Structure 1
Amino acid sequence: MKIAVIGAGTMGNGIAHTFAQSGYSVNLVDISQDSLDRGMNTISKNLDRMVAKEKISAIEKQETLDAITTYTNLEEGVQHADLVVEAATENVDLKLKIFESLNKATKEDCILATNTSSISITQIAAVTDRSDKVIGMHFMNPVPIMKLVEIIRGYNTSDETTSTIMELSKKLSKAPVEVNDYPGFVANRILMPMINEAIETLYNGVAGVYEIDTVMKLGMAHPMGPLQLADFIGLDVCLSILEVMHDGFKNPKYAPCPLLVNMVRAGKFGVKSGEGFYDYTEHRKAEKVAAMFS
């Protein structure tokens, strides 16, 4: 099976890494050569950590890198693909535009998957003429480490497509869970209100950042506090997901906290921008990523 991944950012390069390490030939597609170069550099560094921990050999690292080919032209990158996994920015208009292009550029029997964390699969499928072959494949970050994949069926997604993607996920040594197409699906429908409530707790002056995260880590056995997790996910991504859920459910409980809105407006996105609820120097960012692969 030939795989194409759209987007070389955090999720895209992680998905490409995972497929390639599992023995699949992968085309990694992005409009920016710089993004592709950064993505491949990230994959190489993450593989180096695995070699250092003796989880893979140096030969396996090279085989993984050799299995990935990069493209800046979408049509060239997807024309022979059996499965395309879109992992672009969590923006509905962008995703609809990409899927319109994928519908024209791919083979008729190619499955089109999206790594969206909240946007309707049914809405995305509606811009194609193969809604039975459109499905959600929501990986967790960091993709090479996290086992869960949410498999989201759109209204017209076929049993055959669902079965194919469930089995493929298992071949990646992942644990796929099938869910239906509602805003936020399962993971973010539960997670994002918790993160938002943690931000509200900070906004209302109940406790500080460290105190809130410590209560959830030590009291609820969470491996990472909700504010630290929000920084790791990206505050802009958290805001986008909450906005999708708020719009989809028309329920005020999903309304983003004003503090989150203002932080995103100020360019404080968390780890990727260097500042969120915590301050991240380049050195500390590197340590955090390294710790995820330990």
Structure 2
Amino acid sequence: MKNITVIGAGTMGNGIAHVFAQNGFQVKLVDISEKALEKGVATITRNLDRLLSKEKISLETKESTLSNINCHTELTDGLSNADLVVEAATENVDLKKNIFQQIDELSPEKAILATNTSSISITQIAAVTSRPDKVIGMHFMNPVPIMKLIEVIRGYSTSDAVTKQIMELSETLGKVPVEVNDYPGFIANRILMPMINEAIYSLYEGVAGVYEIDTVMKLGMAHPMGPLQLADFIGLDVCLSILKVLFDGFGNPKYAPCPLLVNMVTAGKLGVKSGEGFYDYTASRKAETISKQFS
């Protein structure tokens, strides 16, 4: 397995492409937008420069990583010789189904199809393909080049052989893969999102302020960042989407998104990526972004 196709050049997609390319794989990065591809490669270059400045990689590694990445705006070109396709598009079930129908038709018969979804059913995605035994979840953590975990999610029909291959492949990337089964939110977000939602409810109900809630969790529970700060980093729209998946999947009121979260997303306050969430990230406030903690 040497030829990897990554669908989507956004935050997760360019991070996944970076990690595969740095480990010697030939990567085709695919996005419908040329601008998104340029931005994605620019992000990879900046992250490589940061690693180079800290002497964590050599100049040769930087150059070889970038040379291992080729960009495409057409799926046909990007999928022609893929051994593994990793989809990293927006967390929307209909969009992902549409993408998987296309990549199933255009990818070589041997190719494994993986999704980076953080909550959507692998079984549901696999059902629109002709190869459900070769569909699997590879939930990378953000920022991908830094975080060690890959949550490997087996769909109902995912074969033992494919699961074993993806577990071993994840280890070659220097990651720690953990195998889980296909239920709403898997493990990471089934545990994390209710905590974030409860923190938002605590703010909504006036129990404590943003700084106070995050400080309690950082200093009292040894979390590297507080739940509200983490929500800003993930994206409040993504948090809301995952909570909706959990609520729809289990039908339990404990997963119902807090009204404050719903209102903030409706108002466009999405966290770091929009410049404002529970914290202000605009230049005028000189707020420190979460990403600096991982640099």
TM range (shorter): over 0.9
The equivalent residue for 1:273 is 274
Q: SS where residue 27 of structure 2 aligns?
A: strand
Instruction: Give identity over the alignment, percent.
Output: 72
Q: Give 1:289's match in structure 2, choosing from 269, 278, 291.
A: 291
Aligned to 2:147: 146
Q: Report the secondary structure of 2:177's partner residue.
A: strand
Matches within 5 A, 1:110-259: 110-259=111-260
Unaligned runs of 5+ in 2: none
SS at the partner of 1:70?
strand
Residue 287 of structure 1, CA deviation: 5.7
Instruction: Give me the whole-angstrom Cα distance separating, in 2, the residues matched to 1:195 and 1:174.
Output: 25
- Greater than 3 Å deviation, 4+ residue runs: 282-288
Give the C-alpha shift of residue 285 in structure 1: 7.4
- Structure 1 residues 27, 282: closer, same or farther in 2, change over 3 A? farther
Please give the secondary structure, in 1, of the residue aligned with 2:6.
strand
Secondary structure of residue in 1 paired with 2:128 = coil
Task: Please tell me the residue identity of whatever aligns with 2:219.
Answer: L
Question: Shift of residue 79 of structure 1?
Answer: 1.6
Structure 1 runs not aligned, ≥5 long: none
Amino acid at match of 2:108: K
Which amino acid is 1:6 matched to? I
Equivalent-residue separation in structure 2 for 1:83 and 1:90 (angstroms): 20
How many residue pairs align between the two structures? 293
Over the residues paired in the alignment, what is the CA RMSD in angstroms? 1.1
What is the deviation of 1:74? 1.2
For residue 84 of structure 1, give the secondary structure of its aligned residue in structure 2. Answer: strand
CA contact (8 A) 1:49 1:290 kept: no
CA distance in 1, matches of 2:231, 2:87: 22
Task: Measure the CA separation in 2 of the matches of 1:198 and 1:290.
Answer: 23
What is the TM-score with the length of structure 2 in the denominator? 0.97
Q: Would you say the 8 A contact 2:272–2:289 is kept in 1?
A: no
SS in 1 for 2:29: strand
* Contact 1:117/1:241 (<8 A) preserved: yes
CA apart distance, 1:75: 1.5
Aligned to 1:272, what secondary structure does the other structure show?
Answer: helix
Provide Cα deviations, 1:7-46, integer angstroms capped at 9, x if missing partner: 0000000000000001101000001111111111000000
SS in 2 for 1:150: strand
Q: Matches of 1:132 and 1:285 in 2, distance apart?
A: 46
CA distance 1:288–1:200, change in 2 (3 Å): closer
